[in-house]
Amino acid sequence: MPAKMKKLFVLFNCLVGIIAYGQEVQKDFTKILLDENFNNGDKNWNSTFNVDNLFIAQNGYYELFRRSKKSGYFLLPNDKTEYGSFELETAITFAEHDNRKQSAGILLMAKDNSSGLLVEINQKKEFRILRIYNDRQVPKMGSGNGWIKAPAFLSKTQNTITIRTYDKVYDLLINGQFVVSFTEIELNKGMVGLYIGADSKAKYDYLRIKGEEKTDLTTIEVSSSKEEEKSFTQIIINLKNQINKRDKEIDELKSKLKLASNGAVNNANRDTGIINERNKLQVRVNQLESDNEDLQLQLVALEEEKKKLEDFKAGVQSGQENGDIIINLTNMVSNQKTKIEELEQRNKSLNNENNSLFIETKDLTKQLDLRINALTSEKAKNITMRYELDSLKKIISNLTDSLKAKDALLKKGDANTAPPKELTDEEQLQQLIEKERQERIKRREEEERKKKEEEEKGSN
């Protein structure tokens, strides 16, 4: 790439950085790739109950309780979907717990549950970014274990984390405020997982991932020379951006290669690992330089095509007889633009309606859970009342049997004895019930008297 062009790109990137107030990912992510509200957690996130972990999705939350005090735990979804460039947002709420250093976070670019990039927060209003390897964890910034204090962004209970990434560059936002940008050139695609720290209890409200609406500029159907020129211009800009990024990556790899070579020379034993790493870097540099040459050739070809298009445009505009064609094409483009704006407005309206329905569904789900709990409580009360009713029926049955037995004894009594006044079965049953009630009252009074005497003895 010519030196002048490089300077222009450097100047352009600096201006973009100033406008973005530090944010480096300048992409619009509008396509919903994942909208997880944890209403059906077992579909993609397993419930777990063991000595170290208690994980369950309920009431619209995914609740995680890591009992082990030795280490944290990574959770990956069942669908194993991998993401490259995206915008991720999630809400984490720390539950009440004796541990005041609880932590939780998001795992990015994971191939398994022991590799990737971890963004972690804790209840001490700190955050850190770790590169996760199979055998170690390396902080991307900060000192020591990587924790950075951020009381202006974080709260002790509920926090929203947003991560935007494109082309190995990451922007981190906490509670809607931009915090920091960072890069990780070794990772470009992987799964998104959850993380719960050692001896920590937290719940995730939702996990939403959006991607970029990609358009292949080479397949755009243009309706005028102006639209075709615009298409070529966009393709050329994209190619220049790719070349610029490849140049940057080549410079970084060459720096690593130089460090690896120096380390190998200084090491008397010529460590095999360093030599292998140097060789890999050299292969990667060669490959990128080859790709860069291909991109340069494509760029030259497209610039020539663009020049031809501009010449054709100038010829058309100079010909008076082609004026009607240009007017018609301009009208067609204007009509298409109006239709596109209407469709975008309709899409925005549908998105708003979708968000409203999502909130309404969540509220209805919570109301349903409350109704189910109330119904369960009423069922328990009905069961208790049935037990009491069965007990009363047994008492009545026993009293009836006793009444029949006494009637039989009376009939066998002395014939000279004047027979007592005969009572009806109902009257006899009422007498027995009353007698049973009086005996219960006496027993209760006796128990209360004994209890009172014991209390008086205890006080003396």
Q: Which of 131, 134, 138, 141 is nearest to 108 (CA)?
A: 131
Contacts of 246 (CB under 8 A, 6+ apart): 288, 291, 292, 295
**Are the CB atoms for 358 and 37 separated by under 8 Å?**
yes
Q: Which CATH superfamily is domain 27-212 in?
A: Exo-inulinase; domain 1 (2.60.120.560)
Going from the C-alpha of 445 to that of each of 87, 431, 442, 451, the distances in angstroms are 74, 21, 5, 10
pLDDT tens, per residue, the chain with 460 residues? 444 444 434 333 433 333 334 688 988 899 999 999 988 766 888 889 999 999 999 888 999 999 999 999 999 999 899 999 999 999 999 999 999 899 999 999 998 877 899 999 999 999 999 999 988 999 999 889 999 999 999 999 999 999 999 989 999 999 999 999 999 988 989 999 999 999 999 999 999 999 988 655 555 555 555 555 666 666 777 766 777 777 777 777 777 667 666 655 555 444 566 666 667 777 777 777 777 777 778 777 777 777 777 776 666 556 544 555 556 666 666 777 787 888 878 778 777 877 777 787 778 888 888 888 888 888 888 888 887 788 788 888 888 887 887 777 777 765 555 555 666 777 777 887 888 888 888 888 888 888 888 888 877 6
Residue with the two structure tokens 């990015």? 108
CA angle 210-215-218, nearest 5°?
Answer: 160
**Are the CB atoms for 60 and 366 separated by under 8 Å?**
yes
For the chain, the domains span 27-212, 222-318, 383-405+424-447
* Distant-in-sequence contacts of 298-303, Cβ < 8 A, 24+ apart: 298/239, 299/236, 299/239, 299/240, 299/243, 302/232, 302/235, 302/236, 302/239, 303/236
* DSSP character at residue 275: H
Token duo for residue 58: 């309920």
Find the radius of gyration of the CA atoms of the chain: 39
Question: What is the DSSP track for 407-428?
Answer: HHHHHTS-TTSPPPPP--HHHH
CA 396/CA 432 separation, integer angstroms: 9
Dihedral of CA 447/449/452/458: which sign?
negative
CA 345/CA 328 separation, integer angstroms: 26
Token duo for residue 114: 């022991």
pLDDT at residue 16 in the model: 35
pTM over 0.85: no
